[in-house]
A and B are shown apart, each in its own frame.
Chain A
Amino acid sequence: MNEQQQLIIETLSRLLTDLCTPEVVDRSESGTFAENLWQVLTETGLTAAGIGVEAGGSGGDLEDSLLVIREAARFAAPVPLAEHFIAGLLLSEQGQSIESGPVTIASGKFIISDGLSLSGAADDVAFARWCAQVVLVAQGSDGLKLCRVPASDFDIVQKNSVAGEPRDSISVNTKVAAESAFSVDSQTPERIKLMGAALRALMMSGALESVLEMTVQYSTERSQFGRPISKFQAIQQQLAVLAGEVAACQMASHSVVEAFSTLGELDIAIGKARIGEAVSICTDIAHQVHGAMGYTLEHSLNHRTRRLWSWREEYGNEREWQKLVGRHFSAQGADKLWGSMTAL
């Protein structure tokens, strides 16, 4: 992280401490969008960091926005920063600027006619019910088209993830404005998936860091048998395992950040697989140390752990990405295995 980025993260962290309280996260789960949070993030330019100024963004490096998205996940921020960012990137590639939104991205089955009639549906669309626009890829007669569609054009069936985050089912039958449909190449859906996997990996690593901090903190505050439970070796050993996993995730997340600009498939796959795998170990330990208190809705540990359980499944779970990694290395052959690892 350079100085500029450190400043961004510190600013964001202060802002989220004030505006992204456990109550705000809870309210979002009960159906109220964190409007104020989104507005302040937009005003401070944090929803469009890393997107060129000419495209309606705040400029800066791509890396800035990745760090912002990672940091926001530490606070379980109930806003579609990742989806808005992907949509912004795709639109900026078409020379289009992004609305202050929020804008979400839908991966599903959509067809667009030559006359720009769009129909189709998608599941698990993040925050669709609270978004201004939906960006999606539709099959046209002569290739794929990226479309930007007002969210009000969709029928939205509200559904939630295990984290209580909106993952809506949406369907549409509408006419797209000519200036809102753009021809894109056949790789675009794959690219969206890679971006999504990379961002979920970063979000998980941010949330895991926060889980480690909360768990260590709790262990020093909770006393049993006359002393803080952090003084028990059994607890210390568990926390050491948790710390090891979180450190590995931090390393993997650095590689994901580096791979993002070129969408390096292998590094993103390794990151999503490795960090996803850590989730089961880390949430197990964190909940064990927190005891029954951590199993309540009242304690904000659940804001992190439930998101982790949700995010590890999204944009391909460990199994899917491990298989891709395995296929890559298997194809090199046993005697090239080491060489292909050091070439990464």
Chain B
Amino acid sequence: MFQGLKFEPFKLPDEAELIRQEVREFLARELDPGTLPNSDFNAGESAEFSRKLGAQGWIGMTWPKKYGGLGKSFLERYVVTEELLAAGAPVGCHWIADRQSGPLMLKFGTEEQKQRFLPKIVSGDFFFSIGMSEPDSGSDLASIRTSATKTDGGWLLNGSKIWTSYAHTNHYMVTLVRTEPPSENRHAGMSQVVVDLSDKNVTVTGIRNLSGEEDFNQVFFDDVFIPDDMLIGTPGNGWEQVMSELGYERSGPERFLSAFRVIVEFAREIESNPTDEQLVLLGRLASHLVTLRRMSISVAGMLGEGKLPLTEAALIKDLGNSYERMVPEIVRLSVSGDCSRRFVDTLNECILHAPSFTLRGGTREVLKGVIARGLGLR
């Protein structure tokens, strides 16, 4: 088989299964039975919930103890995240900091940055956004124009980022910027800086998505001063750093569980008297989901071993996103008109969110390009 397309079976260790029980008990206590759960990681946020989760030690749980982490394995974290998503917990506030910003700092940050940010992420007090896309730079990330120019003791940031989820409520944003003008090497001259979103020179303007929610934004920088110690890693190394996050960003359970609650409500709808067709559909959806989950666990195992399975991650995201898009579209046609309110609401919410599944974190077209590269075609 081709390099980058090898998925070895991986079994979750016993300690991960123990944590699963703890998470289930926690969720049974903490989730409000009155709200309709949504397994889209970007669909619900609650600072209070995130702080409670932090108090359990389940944010930044793989990080070293000296930064507030539990030093747990990547596979134990995997179990926590999939349990949160499957239950439809409101994870939006801390999700990015836990998945990406924290690990980035651990890998590339200074000791001072780690001390300053990680313990507060762990406790659920610091929430992070990611600033990548710009109005003229979507899939072509290397074309970004937001720039940081050197000044005394730091950098002056100008430009704008767009589609940044929760920038209006989060505290910081890890932002990809140009610290050198574009050159022949399109990927050179970029850096990652931490922007304090409460800075008076930062303006956050909400954008309403088509479901009427205002969870993403455009963020404007007008001579925002970034102290030297808020640059992460090496100036000019931003592109490599961003690429190293992608394995985490693209392979997790949030890439195939976004429509899971639709399947749960479908199962509830047909529980008492399923037709053959409905059983066939449930079995089809389940056989995809079980397989995707095993692929995702396989990549979690590789990440835990320090590997960087970028093609595999892209492949999981692409397969998983297609699945998430397919679920509501085929489920809606396999029930009779007389459905419960709960089912209809869950279905509609998923349909309204679905266009984002195959855009965020890399469009399906970009992902297929990554896979094609893995096949040696590019």
- Residues of A at the B interface (CB closer than 8 Å) are 209, 212-213, 216, 219-220, 230-231, 233, 236-237, 239-241, 243-248, 250-252, 254-255, 258, 269-270, 273-274, 277, 318-319, 321-330, 333-335, 337-339, 341-342, 344
* Contact of B283 with A240 in the complex, beta carbons under 8 Å: no
Additional A-B contacts beyond A243-B375, A273-B284 (6; CB < 8 A) = A216-B375, A240-B369, A240-B371, A250-B6, A273-B287, A274-B288
* Contact of A244 with B318 in the complex, beta carbons under 8 Å: yes
* Contact of A248 with B295 in the complex, beta carbons under 8 Å: yes
- B283 partner residues in chain A, CB cutoff 8 A: 269, 273, 321-329
- A213 partner residues in chain B, CB cutoff 8 A: 2
What's the tally of chain B residues with a CB closer than 8 Å to chain A?
Answer: 55
- B264 partner residues in chain A, CB cutoff 8 A: 334-335, 337-338
**CA of A323 to CA of B372, assembled, Å:** 34
**CA of A274 to CA of B5, assembled, Å:** 18
Interface assignment of B319: CB less than 8 Å from any CB of chain A: yes
Main secondary structure, interface of B, reads helix
The 9 closest A-B pairs by CB, nearest first: A326-B283, A325-B283, A322-B283, A326-B279, A334-B268, A240-B368, A326-B282, A236-B372, A240-B371
* Contact of B278 with A243 in the complex, beta carbons under 8 Å: no
Q: How far is the CB of B254 from chain A (nearest CB, A)?
A: 15
**CA of A254 to CA of B290, assembled, Å:** 13
* Contact of B374 with A255 in the complex, beta carbons under 8 Å: no
Interface assignment of B291: CB less than 8 Å from any CB of chain A: yes
* Contact of A337 with B9 in the complex, beta carbons under 8 Å: no
Q: Which of A243, A258, A323, A326 is close to B5, meaning CB atoms less than 8 Å apart? A: A243
Taken residue by residue from 166 to 209, chain B's Cβ proximity to chain A (1 for < 8 Å, 0 otherwise) reads as 00000000000000000000000000000000000000000000
Q: How far is the CB of A212 from chain B (nearest CB, A)?
A: 8
Task: Give the residue among B279, B286, B318 with the most A Cβ atoms within 10 A.
Answer: B286
B316-368, CB < 8 A from A:
318-319, 365, 367-368
Q: How far is the CB of A1 from chain B (nearest CB, A)?
A: 9
Q: How far is the CB of A277 from chain B (nearest CB, A)?
A: 7
Q: Known contacts A255-B294, A342-B20: does B280 contact A319 (CB below 8 Å)?
A: yes
**CA of A318 to CA of B278, assembled, Å:** 14
B250-296, CB < 8 A from A:
260, 263-265, 267-268, 270-271, 274, 276, 278-284, 286-295
Task: Give the residue among B82, B292, B365, B377 with the most A Cβ atoms within 10 A.
Answer: B377
- B284 partner residues in chain A, CB cutoff 8 A: 273, 277, 318, 322, 325-326
* Contact of A250 with B1 in the complex, beta carbons under 8 Å: yes
* Contact of B276 with A323 in the complex, beta carbons under 8 Å: yes
* Contact of B287 with A325 in the complex, beta carbons under 8 Å: yes
Task: Give the residue among B2, B263, B279, B288 with the most A Cβ atoms within 10 A.
Answer: B279
* Contact of B260 with A338 in the complex, beta carbons under 8 Å: yes
* Contact of A338 with B86 in the complex, beta carbons under 8 Å: yes
Interface assignment of B378: CB less than 8 Å from any CB of chain A: yes
List, sorted by A's number, 20 A–B pairs whose CB atoms are closer than 8 Å: A220-B377, A231-B377, A237-B365, A243-B374, A243-B375, A245-B319, A248-B288, A251-B298, A254-B7, A255-B294, A318-B284, A326-B281, A327-B274, A327-B279, A329-B282, A330-B267, A330-B282, A337-B267, A341-B290, A342-B20
Interface assignment of B8: CB less than 8 Å from any CB of chain A: yes
**CA of A270 to CA of B294, assembled, Å:** 12
* Contact of B86 with A251 in the complex, beta carbons under 8 Å: no
* Contact of A209 with B319 in the complex, beta carbons under 8 Å: no
* Contact of B1 with A248 in the complex, beta carbons under 8 Å: no
Q: How far is the CB of B325 from chain A (nearest CB, A)?
A: 14
- A325 partner residues in chain B, CB cutoff 8 A: 282-284, 286-287
Q: Known contacts A230-B377, A236-B372: does B288 contact A330 (CB below 8 Å)?
A: no
* Contact of B274 with A330 in the complex, beta carbons under 8 Å: yes
